[in-house]
């Protein structure tokens, strides 16, 4: 695994005593501003009753300071550092945080992601929320990186889908980007994808569907048609679709579709794509491969917070 998927990642950062913790680091385009980040993290802390942590209040002296490290237990790619930093800052506004591996960084098991120095109570009470954010998003980034590596050299690109956790779409799509993938449309307004159920509503008339979409979509909007058969591919091309989504097609059909679309429309393969099958799909010559599993089935990356002499 490459040690640094993002060549433009900033140098590691140090938050000086008394200043806010790092709020934006690593892969470009973190989707939340400072206020939205704080609101999301505070809600998670409130859900966990982190400001009323009975276990910590009962066992840890109020003046106790500690050093801690957030460590990767497995190989992967990091995402969610700004959220973790916000969690620690909200429980200890004087915490210092050194970011050793910002978002988009590849890590090996044992690598230190963050170094922290602050009040023991604050770090302990924020620990679970910080890890929950980072493990989930780093899991998405890590799985994305595996798919990207699997098709290296083919010319195809890995995309996500709208199969995201409600309320987390921008964060999960950001994590896909951190892992080296690309984003499909963000929402139902940002692109047109005419699927089988849309076609069923108008008797399967691909030409009419594309015509109506062009009439109401903003100028420059990509019009994509989901195709299950080569006959639908031909109909989409005849209608002037910008892209065809080749859904659950055999490798032979994919190669045929790519040949028909060359120079006329962007080709995208989708449907049940796995790490075991993605290379063969890419070698059919498709431009893009969309993988719902990146966001709906990514396993969490194993991360832990280790305290020094607590």
Q: Which residues are catalytic?
A: 128, 163, 195, 226, 247
CB 307 within 8 A of CB 123: yes
By the 8 A CB rule, do 231 and 249 touch?
no
Running DSSP on this structure, what letter comes out for residue 244? E
The H-assigned helical ranges of the chain are 34-47, 54-59, 81-91, 120-150, 169-178, 196-201, 206-216, 230-238, 251-261, 278-282, 293-296
| Long-range Cβ contact pairs of 251-254 (< 8 A, separation 24 or more) | 251/280, 251/281, 251/284, 253/229, 254/281, 254/284, 254/285, 254/286
Structure letter (DSSP) for residue 20: P
| C-alpha to C-alpha distance for 214 and 288, rounded to whole angstroms | 23
Helix (H, G, I), strand (E, B) or coil at 99: strand
């Amino acid at each position: 695994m490459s040690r640094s998927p993002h060549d433009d990642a900033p140098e590691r950062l140090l938050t000086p005593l008394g200043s806010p913790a790092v709020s934006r680091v690593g892969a470009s385009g973190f989707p939340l501003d400072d206020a939205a980040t704080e609101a999301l993290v505070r809600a998670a802390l409130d859900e966990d009753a982190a400001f009323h942590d009975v276990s910590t209040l009962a066992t840890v002296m109020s003046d106790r300071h500690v050093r801690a490290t957030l460590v990767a237990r497995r190989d992967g790619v990091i995402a969610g550092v700004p959220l973790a930093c916000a969690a620690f800052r909200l429980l200890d506004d004087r915490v210092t945080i050194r970011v050793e591996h910002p978002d988009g960084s590849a890590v090996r098991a044992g690598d230190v992601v963050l170094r922290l120095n602050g009040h023991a109570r604050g770090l302990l009470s924020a620990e679970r929320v910080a890890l929950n954010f980072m493990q989930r998003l780093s899991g998405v980034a890590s799985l994305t990186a595996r798919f990207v590596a699997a098709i290296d050299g083919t010319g195809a690109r890995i995309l996500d889908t709208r199969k995201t956790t409600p309320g987390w779409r921008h964060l999960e799509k950001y994590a896909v980007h951190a892992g080296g993938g690309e984003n499909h449309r963000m929402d139902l307004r940002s692109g047109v994808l005419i699927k089988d159920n849309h076609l069923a509503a108008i008797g399967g008339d691909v030409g009419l569907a594309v015509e109506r979409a062009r009439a109401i979509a903003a100028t420059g909007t990509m019009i994509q048609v989901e195709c299950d058969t080569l006959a639908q591919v031909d109909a989409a091309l005849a209608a002037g679709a910008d892209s065809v989504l080749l859904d659950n097609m055999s490798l032979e059909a994919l190669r045929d579709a790519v040949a028909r679309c060359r120079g006329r429309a962007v080709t995208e393969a989708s449907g049940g794509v796995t790490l075991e099958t993605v290379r063969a799909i890419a070698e059919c010559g498709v431009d893009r491969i969309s993988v719902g599993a990146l966001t709906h089935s990514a396993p969490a990356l194993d991360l832990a917070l280790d305290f020094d002499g607590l």
